[in-house]
Structures are given as C-alpha cells and as structure tokens.
C-alpha cells in the first residue's frame, strides 16, 4: 500500500477572514509595529479643519469599450477652523484642476488659487486666495475620471463567461474598505468623517446599477441615447468606506415582505439564481434577530446582498448593499454539505450584524477594526444558533477559534489585538489577520459570561443608542458596559470593564494558569504567566491578565460561577481546597482564553475519571476539549511527559462528541506533520489507527445517512482521518464509491457520492488512484458551478502521488486561463502537504521564483504565501539553512526579505526544537 498521505484540509478550523488569503508574514510585521507604537495623530491623517455634511455623486460607468468612469462629486462641508486650504483624499484619479469650484453655501464662488496633490500621502489640496471662515458652510465641486482596473480595490472591473451564450460579460464593482473610496472619487476618506450620500449612476442600457440606498427612478441620459441614469435615495450619515455600487447584468430574487418591512434581495448572475433560496429565506429572520438584539430598528428601507464572481474579500458589510464572494452567499441545498450551508449562514449573519455594529455605529479610526469585526463575528455566530438552535454552531465555531488563537497567539512574534494604526499601510495587516476575527469573539463571549447575558446585552444596546449615526472607540464600549454592570450589580463598583479588557486587548498573547496543590494542607496556589510555544530566556513577568476564576472539583461538579479574579495585584494566590477532592478543573466551559497547567497528581486524577466510560461525561464537553488541547501543547513544549498526555487521550475510545475529537485530531496533526518524511511516521500512524478504530466502526458504512450537525461533523472528520491513516477498509470503500461515480450517467449533475463525505472521497481517490481518476476529477472541477465544490476539488487534485501530474499541475498555477489565481494558493498548499509533492513544490518555487513573483503583481504577496507554505513543512537545521540561503539569494523578489527570513526562521526553528526533543521519545509511549 502506498504510504503517501496527503493531509486533508479542514478549512473550517480557519476563521472566515474578510480578506482573501492568510498573510502569515503580517504577524511579524505587526509585532514590529507593536514595538514602535504608531501615533494615531499621524501626518497621514487629514487635518480636521473641515467636516463633510453631504455628498452628491454623479457617476457614469463605461464597460466593454473604454473601461473607465467619469463623474462629478459635490461635497457640502462645514468649516471647523479657519484655514485657506481644504485637504481631502484622492488617488489615481484624473482631475482637471481648473474645473474645481468652491462655493459659499452653494451660491458665492470662492476663488481657488491652486489645486495640488501629494501622491505618496494620497492627498489633494484645494487652496483659496481667502480664508474659509469657521462655522460657515461650503460646497466643493470636483469633476474627475478614472480607469476601471483589476486591482481589487476602489472601483474595479471583472468579467465572467455567461454559460448560456458563451460570451464574456463585464461588470464593475466597488470594494472601498479600507482606503479604496479615494480611488473612486475625491472624498474625506477616514471613518470619522460621516456624511450623507446622494448617488446617481449612469450606465449603458441593458445593465443594472445598485447602490446602498433604494432605487428611486431612471431617466435617459441627455448626452448619450444609449445610456440611462439611475437615481437613489439619500443615505443617512455614513463613512466613506461603506459606500458601494455596482454596474452589471445581474438579476435579483426578492423576499416576500409586508409593506412596512425591509425589502430584502439577493443579487447574482442569472445562472446562479437557483442557489439563492437559502439566503433569501434566512436574511429577513436574521435582520429581525439583530433588531431585537440591539433593540434598534434597521435604519434603511432595503437590504441587498450581492454575490460577486470575483470579489477581493470574502464579504463586505457596505450599508444596504453587502457584497460576497459567490460561495459565501449562494448555495445549492440539494448537493451542499451541511458545514457549507451553516458557513453561508454565518457569513450572512456576520455582515448583517455589521449593519448596526460597524455601520450605524462606526469606529473612529482603524485601530478599533478588531472591535468592529470581533463583535460582528460573535453576534454572527450567535445568529446561526438562533436560526438553527439544534446545531450548537456557536460552540463548535468557538472551539475552532480557540484552536487557531491558542496556536498563533503563543508565538513570540504575536501582536496585541488592539494595535495603534498611524500610516495607511498599517491597516492591511490588521484587516487580513486571523487574530482580528478569531480572538475578538472569544473575548466577547468571555464578557457575556462574566457580566451575565442581561448586563452584556443591555450595555451593547446602550452603546448603539448613544452613538448611532456617529463614531465611537473601544473605551466608549467599555464605559457603556461598565455603567450597566454597576447599575445591575454584576461587577464590583471598584472595577471597570476597561481595567479587565485592556489586559486582553492591549497586551500580546494569553496566560497559562499554574495550579499547584498542597494535598496535605488542603490548599491550592494559583499563579499566571504568558504562555509561549517556544520558551524564551527567563519568564515573562511583565504581563498579567484579569482572569475570572471558575472551577469544579470531583467533589462538587456545580461550582461554575466566578469565585474571584486573578490579576496583577494577587498573582500568587493560595486558597483552601478540600483534601479529599481527587481533582480540580479550572475555566469552566472553556469561556476564557488561557491554558491550565496542573501538578501530576491532579492530572492523574482527571485521567482516571476520563478513562472510566461511566464517569467521563461528568467532566463537561468543553472542559474535555481544553484538557486535550492543553496536555498536547504542554507535551509539545516539554513541560509535561507525552506518557501522561497519551494516557489521557486513551479515553477517546469511548468519546462520542465532535469537539473533543476535533481537538485531539488537530493536536495529532501537528505531531503527524513533524514526523512526515521520517522513518517513524508509519509507526505513529499505526498508533492513531488503533485510537480511531472504535469510532470509525460507528461510521464505516459511508452511504448510511447521519443526522444532526455535530454528528455529521464527527462522521466527516472521522472518515477523513481514518482514510488518511489507512484504517481498515477505508481506502477501498472510498475508491469503490469514486469509481462508481466515474461510471455514472452525467456525473456533473448526478453526483452519487454521500455529500458530506465528497471532499474526503475526492482526496483519497486522487491520492490512491491513477491518471484516470485525476483526469476525471479535473473535468468535474472545470464544469462545476458550485464554488465550495471547486475549492475542495482544487485541493484534492494536489494530493496525487504521481510526480508528472504534480509538476504539470504546479505549472498550471501560473496560467489564469487554466487555474484562476484565487484557486492557485489552495492548489500549491495542497501539493506542499503531500509527502511526494513537497519536494516537487520546493523545486518549483526555486526554479520559478521569477515567474511567480511577476504573476502575482501588483498584489505582490503571492510569493510570500508560497514561501510560508514550504516553510511550514520543514523541520531540520539543514532545511532551514538551505531555505534562508534561497531567500537571501532571491531577496530582490521580496519587498521585505528580512521579515520573510524572520518568519520562516521562527516557523522552522519551532519544528526543529520539537524534533530534537521528542522524535526519539514519542513513539516509546
């Protein structure tokens, strides 16, 4: 049997990030930003002499012929402080400076002495011969033109092939967050400068335009009979990055609604309208859920959700016109996996939460982007539980967030959740960083727990009510929550939410709670320090956190309320604990982000309970998850013998819940990765096969339907890993099903595979099959109309053990007509994880670095992603030196080669340290 194992991608472990791609290098960049704190009142922020009141934007879009737009913007603004210069943002726009006009109250023209630009700061200066007077109102009118580019930011152009006519269709769409609005029209492009927007969009007849607000009427364009102009209602005050519009030939599906309800539509390509049913039914329910949660009516008359064939982000919350990549909004319920269905639901609930938290109340500056995204993610997960109460989706997603944050936040190069933003190029690392989207909801769940549901929700409502149609910052939310907590008596009057939460948002990392029991004295001593996955010289005593202490014991399983707080003032605390308690467990229901390290006797007491099939469930599910995660991690860094960890993990033979298995298999995955391409890999896999055998027997009949979200998740996970580790007949069953599908009539429309297991079947059939199986799946990828299937297929195709196929596949990554850029990263990642593919991928990177670098311009980050995929699979000093030498030789291809070297050094060094410490020990247990 071929021992090549292509690692199954569990993409749901990774948080849904707003921006496409995971730029690992930003973790290093952010750590450097944190060490030299940026001042938010930087030279890159515009002066506050003027405050915009309203915009009138008239824009004509030219598709298919000129690929450009032309328009006029009129900005009504109030002078706050006397000055002779208006400073606003403009980038990559063509402006006839002689046509720029300033009028006082729209009547008296103010003489303009000069119009100038500072390109490196993306600023436009309009200077007058006289001073603008404080408190007076002025109107600045600027005509402009711009090119519709393919840069994925601003107002850009894309195309798709209409399957019915086989013709290319062009469309234009906006993506303004964070700094893209200035590329579409001159404006005050900072979140704090809210204003109303009146938008008119001109376009060729036969196309449709959509914007934030409700359509009012359409008129023929007086200067061109082939064009029409669509007029939209005026918006409430909003930030520029939330403005949105698109011109396309899309169609819409409207939900049934009463006259007084919000008009809710799904907009997409005509051929995908059959995939809108789920979103059109879900959206109105979620809007109502959020209205009730915030106790605030939705402030607009309509809510559009647009599926865009090629969006730069996964989704974007533009007010009244949220945009999504197609697979984050559309889904075919007949063929989609339940995980994909709920993930689409999560995407919708997240963006609709933003309509209040982010749009109605907006951050003052990008430093608080984490707040915006973290709360929308938290409430989005809660929203899925509301719509599908039987799913426990929030609990599962929270565990996946823990998996990600516990890993990334334990690095020396991690950064605080709240990072001061000064320069424009500091925004992107935050907006593309998974910590922003994963740690935030964990902390909001923690607050909801220690404040109580009623206090937390009312504090959020107070915040929304006080700052609606305005801007706020982190401390404003903390004040609202503190006031409500003091009013309801759920927080000591001497303690504020800011005191507590600053330790979690402004400090790097998370703590480990050290638990040391004195069994003879009947006491327990608690202390904390920062947890690091690579030990530094000495202990980090500078950081400490406000930790709410919850616990349970073998003698009293109901001690779940916070007994006290551990903080800097009482960071070494001894309290009584009954001598006869076999064990104590802290952090009930895993609601707070920290690890817990127990003494050996306590661990052994826990292990005895876990390994008793009649008692293990007395330890709550989420605490079993934490025990698994912590024991594996402590063993990995050398704080605990693997022997103890493996004794604990033996209990899994009678575990029947999904999240503990997810935790264990994720931890084993790290070990498995480090043993790849070594003589002991097969032995380790044999051990895991034994562990999986009992739960695999429950699901081995792959065609038997399983009900319930968590059961389906468990089946999918177990079958995936059982086949990965060649458990019993798993591979043969997969191959039989795949080959049966190959022989079916019309396989594209008649996929006979169990839909929840499709991705696993594809991966193993390609891994253990031959050229015929590979070519068959490649054909299905090319014909598929379901984005989630295409994602899984492109990954599976990289799992073959046939080198000639891998080499051809890698070369196709540099041809957008064969494999789109958005799929190329997934394909390369897949090949690097493949034991046979790793060396092929590495040689491809070495030989094709010039082509890869050129192909990913102007974005420029594709090469860094490829480098990090390779580095993650390396684990020897020789590999590190070889790769560093390669980066140094190729430094001209990287914007910041030193950051790249730092990142790969930390990644590979971590692998080297583990290998040197444990390679010869782990399989003796």
- The residues assigned a catalytic role are 351
Report residue 795 as tokens. 């990954």
> DSSP character for 611?
T
Task: Give the sign of the dihedral formed by CA 760, CA 765, CA 767, CA 772.
Answer: negative
Place of tokens 């081995």: 700
Exposed/middle/buried for 805, CB within 10 Å: 0-12, 13-18, 19+?
buried
Q: What angle do CA 481, 484, 486 make, to 5 degrees?
A: 105
Q: Known binder of ligand: residue 445?
A: no
Contacts of the segment 110-113: beta carbons below 8 A, 24+ positions apart: 110/138
Q: How far, in Å, are 103, 133, 187 from residue 107 at the CA level?
A: 6, 15, 21
Taking the C-alpha atoms of residue 922 and residue 640, their distance in angstroms, rounded to an integer, is: 12
Token digits for 327? 């697979």
DSSP 357-411: BTTTEEESSGGGHHHHHHHHHHHHHHHHHHHSTTS-HHHHHHHHHHHHHHHHTTS
Q: Left (φ > 0), alpha (ψ -120 to 50) or beta: where does 728 sit?
A: left
Pairing of strands 584-586, 564-566: unpaired
Count of Cβ atoms closer than 10 Å to residue 709 Cβ: 19
The DSSP H or E segment spanning 71 is strand 68-79
Residues 6 or more apart whose CB falls under 8 angstroms from that of 388 comprise 342, 345, 709
Identify which of 548, 616, 638, 617 has the alpha carbon closest to the alpha carbon of residue 588: 548
CB < 8 Å & 24+ apart, contacts of 488-497: 488/452, 488/454, 488/455, 488/458, 490/451, 490/452, 490/455, 491/451, 491/455, 495/565, 497/447, 497/451
DSSP structure string for 205-270: TT-EEEESSPEEEEEE-TT-TTEEEEEEPPPPSB-GGG--EEEES-EEEE----TTSPEEEEEE-G
DSSP string, 849-912: HHHHHHHTTTT--HHHHHHHHHHTT--SHHHHHHHHHHHHHTGGG-S-HHHHHHHHHHHHHHHH
Q: Which H helix or E strand runs over 547?
A: strand 547-549
Q: Is 373 annotated as a binding residue?
A: yes
**Count of helix runs (H) and strand runs (E) in the chain:** 26, 30
Cβ neighbours of residue 173 closer than 8 Å, sequence gap 6 or more: 155, 156, 158, 246, 248, 306, 308, 311, 323
User: Could you tell me the two tokens for 524?
Assistant: 């327990």
Rounded (5°) CA angle 432-374-239: 75
Rounded to whole angstroms, the maximal C-alpha distance in the chain is 93
CA 327, 329, 331, 336 torsion-angle sign:
positive
Interatomic CA distance for residues 198 and 597, integer angstroms: 59
Q: What is the DSSP string of 513-533?
A: EEEEEETTTTEEEEEEEE--S
Buried b or exposed e, range 654-681, using 16+ CB within 10 angstroms: ebebbbbbbbbbbbbbebbbbbbeeeeb
889 exposure class (CB count in 10 Å sphere: 0-12, 13-18, 19+): exposed
Using left for φ > 0, alpha for ψ between -120 and 50, and beta otherwise, residue 469 falls in left
Binding site feature residues for Zn(2+): 350, 354, 373
């Amino acid at each position: 049997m071929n021992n090549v194992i292509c690692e199954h991608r569990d993409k749901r472990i990774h948080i849904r990030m707003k921006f496409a791609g995971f730029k690992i290098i930003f973790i290093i960049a952010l750590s450097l930003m944190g060490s030299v704190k940026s001042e938010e009142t930087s030279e890159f922020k515009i002066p506050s002499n003027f405050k915009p009141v309203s915009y009138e934007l008239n824009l004509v879009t030219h598709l298919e012929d000129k690929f450009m737009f032309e328009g006029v913007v009129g900005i009504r603004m109030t002078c706050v402080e006397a000055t002779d210069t208006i400073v606003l943002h403009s980038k990559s726009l063509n402006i006839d400076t002689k046509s720029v006009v300033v009028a006082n109250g729209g009547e008296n023209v103010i003489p303009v002495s000069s119009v100038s630009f500072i390109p490196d700061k993306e600023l436009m200066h309009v200077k007058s011969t006289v001073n603008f007077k404080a408190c007076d109102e002025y109107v600045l009118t600027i005509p402009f033109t711009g090119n519709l580019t393919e840069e994925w930011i601003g107002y850009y152009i894309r195309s798709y092939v209409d399957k019915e006519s086989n013709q290319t269709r062009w469309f234009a769409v906006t993506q303004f967050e964070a700094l893209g609005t200035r590329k579409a029209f001159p404006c005050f492009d900072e979140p704090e400068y809210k204003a109303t927007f009146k938008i008119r969009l001109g376009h060729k007849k036969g196309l449709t335009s959509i914007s934030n607000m409700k359509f009012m009427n359409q008129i023929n364009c007086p200067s061109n009979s082939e064009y029409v102009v669509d007029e939209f209602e005026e918006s409430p005050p909003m930030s520029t990055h939330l403005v949105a519009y698109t011109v396309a030939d899309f169609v819409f599906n409207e939900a049934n609604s009463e006259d007084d309800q919000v008009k809710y539509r799904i907009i997409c390509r005509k051929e995908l309208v059959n995939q809108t049913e789920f979103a059109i039914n879900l959206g109105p329910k979620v809007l109502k859920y959020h209205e009730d949660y915030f106790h605030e009516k939705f402030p607009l008359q309509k809510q559009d959700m647009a599926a865009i064939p090629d969006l730069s982000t996964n989704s974007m919350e533009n007010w009244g016109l949220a945009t999504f990549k197609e697979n984050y909004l559309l889904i075919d319920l007949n063929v989609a996996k339940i995980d994909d269905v709920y993930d689409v639901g999560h995407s919708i609930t997240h963006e609709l939460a933003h309509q209040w938290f982010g749009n109605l109340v907006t951050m003052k500056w990008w430093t608080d982007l984490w707040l915006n995204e973290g709360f929308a993610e938290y409430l989005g997960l809660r929203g899925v539980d509301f719509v599908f109460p039987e799913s426990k989706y929030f609990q599962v997603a929270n565990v996946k967030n823990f998996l990600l944050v516990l890993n990334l936040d334990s690095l020396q190069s991690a950064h605080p959740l709240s990072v001061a933003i000064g320069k424009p190029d500091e925004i992107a690392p935050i907006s593309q960083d998974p910590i922003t989207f994963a740690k935030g909801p964990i902390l909001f769940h923690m607050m909801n727990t220690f404040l109580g549901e009623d206090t937390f929700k009312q504090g959020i409502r107070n915040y929304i009510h006080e700052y609606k149609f305005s801007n706020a910052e982190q401390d404003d939310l903390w004040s609202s929550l503190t006031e409500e907590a003091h009013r309801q008596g759920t927080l000591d009057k001497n303690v504020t939410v800011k005191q507590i939460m600053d330790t979690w948002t402004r400090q790097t990392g998370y703590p480990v709670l050290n638990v040391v029991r004195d069994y003879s004295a009947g006491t327990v001593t608690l202390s904390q320090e920062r947890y690091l996955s690579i030990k530094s010289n000495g202990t980090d005593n500078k950081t400490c956190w406000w930790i709410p202490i919850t616990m349970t014991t073998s003698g009293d399983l109901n001690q779940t309320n916070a007994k006290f707080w551990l903080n800097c003032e009482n960071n070494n605390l001894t309290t009584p604990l009954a001598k006869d308690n076999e064990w104590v467990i802290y952090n009930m229901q895993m609601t707070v982000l920290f690890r817990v390290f127990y003494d050996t006797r306590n661990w052994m007491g826990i292990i005895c309970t876990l390994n008793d099939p009649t008692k293990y469930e007395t330890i709550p599910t989420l605490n079993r998850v934490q025990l698994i995660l912590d024991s594996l991690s402590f063993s990995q860094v050398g704080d605990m013998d693997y022997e103890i960890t493996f004794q604990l993990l033996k209990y899994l033979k009678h575990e029947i819940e999904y999240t503990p298995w997810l935790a264990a298999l994720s931890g084993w995955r790290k070990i498995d990765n480090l043993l790849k391409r070594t003589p002991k890999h097969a032995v380790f896999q044999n051990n895991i096969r034994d562990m999986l055998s009992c739960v695999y027997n429950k699901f081995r009949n792959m065609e038997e339907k399983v009900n319930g979200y968590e059961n389906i998740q468990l089946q999918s996970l177990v079958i995936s890993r059982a086949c990965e580790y060649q458990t019993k007949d798993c591979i043969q069953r997969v191959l039989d099903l795949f080959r049966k599908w190959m022989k079916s009539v019309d396989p594209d429309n008649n996929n006979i595979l169990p839909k929840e297991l499709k991705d696993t079947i594809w991966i193993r059939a390609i891994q253990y099959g031959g050229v015929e199986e590979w070519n068959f799946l490649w054909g299905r990828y090319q014909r598929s109309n379901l984005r989630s299937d295409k994602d899984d297929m492109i990954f599976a195709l990289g799992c073959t053990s046939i080198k000639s196929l891998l080499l051809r596949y890698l070369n196709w990554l540099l041809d957008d007509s064969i494999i789109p850029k958005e799929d190329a990263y997934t394909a390369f990642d897949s090949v690097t994880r493949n034991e046979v593919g790793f060396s092929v991928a590495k040689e491809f990177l070495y030989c094709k670095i010039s082509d890869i670098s050129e192909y990913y311009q102007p974005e420029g980050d594709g090469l860094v992603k490829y480098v990090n995929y390779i580095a993650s699979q390396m684990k020897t000093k020789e590999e590190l030196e070889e790769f560093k030498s390669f980066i140094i030789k190729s430094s001209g291809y990287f914007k910041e080669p030193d950051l790249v070297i730092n990142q790969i050094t930390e990644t590979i060094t971590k692998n080297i340290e583990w290998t040197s410490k444990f390679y010869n020990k782990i399989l003796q247990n």
